[in-house]
Structure 1
Amino acid sequence: MNVFIIGIGLIGGSFAIDIKAAFDDAKIYGIDESEENLNKALDLGLIQYKSSLDKLEKADIVIVAIPVDATVQMLPVILDKINDDCLVFDVGSTKQKLCKTVSEHKKRRNYLAAHPIAGTEFSGPQAAIANLYRGKTNIICEVEKTAFKLQERGMEIFSRLGMRIRYMDSASHDKHIAYVSHLSHISSFMLGKTVIEKEKNERDIFDMAGSGFASTVRLAKSSPAMWAPIFKHNKENVIETLEEYIANLTQFKKLIEDDNFTEIYKEMQDTNHIKTILKGIS
């Protein structure tokens, strides 16, 4: 099985590790605009061969693990180059614009729109880890538009890697993911920005930062090259979530100004319900 991975970073590299472990016949080919990343991926054993888009005709699987703006540009080109029996899936955090871009492509049936809800704040080939996807949810959009035999091939990969599958239309995906993922990253970036601007002496930040601050600001270490395009593609939904979030922050600020700490206690107590909702999620 010839597996071509476009983008050998955390996500693509982790797929390479797990697919090699799960499929004895898998041969992993890497494509990346960074020659340094390709060389690192080779040195780390993530991939077996460096390759290029012109070699995609021999691919059985193509995994597209690059920023969503680049995926929108490249996916039609990738579909043009593959053979009729090849499955292409991406791992991007937005889906509606991407699905629309290839909706009329003659090889739309070869494409599976996927979004594994997995990752860390680190990037690059050196960030790739085994079992990143085990136990994680993989959202599949517009599955009915993918050829059934290629759906089966994708599901076998996802199953062997230990993923849970959830089906959703692309518009619903982008709306929901804005709340549970995109807003989290914005909050983390802006918390980091606020603290950096307030505490000009970085030593004070590190000396005083506890585990609460570290865990909350962890996502601010994520790659801007990946996240800025996500916010652009999902602009309307991100703005909607920000408006609701800002309204809640404004209300909380007003309660403090009014010395209404009884209501603050109630707000926090009600929100504690999230412990039940998130129980079992790692």
Structure 2
Amino acid sequence: MKVFIIGIGLIGGSFAIDIKAAFNEAKIYGIDRSDENLEKALGLGLIDHKSSFDELDKADVVIVAIPVDTTVEILPMILDNIHDDCLVFDAGSTKGKLCDTISQHPKRRNYLAAHPIAGTEFSGPQAAIANLYRGKTNIICEVEKTAFKLQERGMEIFSRLGMRIRYMDPSSHDKHIAYVSHLSHISSFMLGKTVIEKEKNERDIFDMAGSGFASTVRLAKSSPAMWTPIFKHNKNNVIETLEEYIANLEQFKKLMKEDNFDEIYKEMEDTNHIKAILKGIT
């Protein structure tokens, strides 16, 4: 099985590690706009060969693990160049615009819209890790538009990598993911910004920062090159979630000003219910 991975960073590199472990016959071909990344990937053993778009006609599977704006631009070209029995899937965090872009493509049946909800705050080939996807949810959109035998190939890959599968339409996916992923990244970035602007002496930040601050601001270390296009593509849903979030912050501030700490206690106690909802999620 010849697997071409476009974008050899955390996501693409982690796919490479796990696919090589799960499929003995798999050969991994890397495509990346950065030759330095490809050389690192070769050195780390993530890929077997450096490749290019000109060789996509050799692929049995193409995994697209690049920023969503670039995926929208190049996915039609990828589909133009593959053979009829090749599966293409992506790992993008938004699905609506992507699915719309290739909806009328002659090889739409070769594409599986996927979103494995997994990752870390790190980037680049050196960030790739084994078992990144084990136990994680992989959301599949418009599965009925993918050829059945190619669905089976994709599901075999996802199964061997240990993913849980959920099916969702692109619109619902983009709306829900704005709450559980995109908003948390914005919150983390803005918390980091607030602290940096307030605490001009960085030593004070690091001397006083505890595990709570470190865990909350962790996502602020994520790649702006990846997250800016996500916010752009999911703009309307992100704005809606921000409006609700800001309203809750304003309400909390109002209670503080009114010295209404009984109500603050109640709100926090009610929110503790999230422990039960998230039980078992790492």
Q: Is the TM-score greater than 0.5?
A: yes
Match of 1:210 in 2: 210
Match of 2:140 in 1: 140
Matched ranges for 1:225-244 at <5 A = 225-244=225-244
Query: After superposition, what is the alpha-carbon deviation per residue over 1:125-177, rounded to whole angstroms, capped at 9, x for unaligned?
Result: 00000000000000000000000000000000000000000000000000000
| Structure 1 letter corresponding to 2:158 | F
- Alpha-carbon distance in 2 for matches of 1:281, 1:211: 19
Query: After superposition, what is the alpha-carbon deviation per residue over 1:104-126, rounded to whole angstroms, capped at 9, x for unaligned?
Result: 00000000000000000000000
- Alpha-carbon distance in 2 for matches of 1:216, 1:281: 16
Moved beyond 2 Å, runs of 4+: none
| Structure 1 letter corresponding to 2:10 | L
Q: Indicate whether 1:46 and 2:46 are aligned.
A: yes
Q: Indicate whether 1:83 and 2:47 are aligned.
A: no
- Alpha-carbon distance in 2 for matches of 1:75, 1:186: 27
Match of 2:109 in 1: 109
| Structure 1 letter corresponding to 2:190 | M
Match of 1:12 in 2: 12
- Alpha-carbon distance in 1 for matches of 2:184, 2:81: 37
Match of 2:23 in 1: 23
Match of 2:92 in 1: 92
Structure 1 SS opposite 2:122 = coil
| Structure 1 letter corresponding to 2:118 | A
- Alpha-carbon distance in 2 for matches of 1:204, 1:35: 40
- Alpha-carbon distance in 1 for matches of 2:254, 2:24: 60
Structure 2 SS opposite 1:265 = helix
Structure 2 SS opposite 1:79 = helix
Structure 1 SS opposite 2:155 = helix
Q: Which runs of 5+ in 2 are unaligned?
A: none
Structure 1 SS opposite 2:132 = coil
Structure 2 SS opposite 1:267 = helix
Query: After superposition, what is the alpha-carbon deviation per residue over 1:42-66, rounded to whole angstroms, capped at 9, x for unaligned?
Result: 0000000000001000100000000
Task: Return the TM-score normalized by structure 2.
Answer: 1.00
Task: Return the TM-score normalized by structure 1.
Answer: 1.00
What's the % identity of the aligned pairs? Answer: 87
Match of 1:173 in 2: 173
Structure 2 SS opposite 1:83 = coil
Query: After superposition, what is the alpha-carbon deviation per residue over 1:170-203, rounded to whole angstroms, capped at 9, x for unaligned?
Result: 0000000000000000000000000000000000
Structure 2 SS opposite 1:191 = helix
| Structure 2 letter corresponding to 1:39 | E
- Alpha-carbon distance in 2 for matches of 1:206, 1:280: 31
| Structure 2 letter corresponding to 1:206 | F
Match of 1:257 in 2: 257
- Alpha-carbon distance in 2 for matches of 1:75, 1:178: 23
Match of 2:220 in 1: 220
| Structure 1 letter corresponding to 2:29 | Y
Root-mean-square deviation (Å): 0.2
Query: After superposition, what is the alpha-carbon deviation per residue over 1:3-36, rounded to whole angstroms, capped at 9, x for unaligned?
Result: 0000000000000000000001000000000000
| Structure 2 letter corresponding to 1:85 | D
- Alpha-carbon distance in 2 for matches of 1:171, 1:260: 39
Structure 1 SS opposite 2:149 = helix
- Alpha-carbon distance in 2 for matches of 1:211, 1:103: 46
Query: After superposition, what is the alpha-carbon deviation per residue over 1:61-102, rounded to whole angstroms, capped at 9, x for unaligned?
Result: 000000000000010000000000000000000000000000
Q: Which runs of 5+ in 1 are unaligned?
A: none
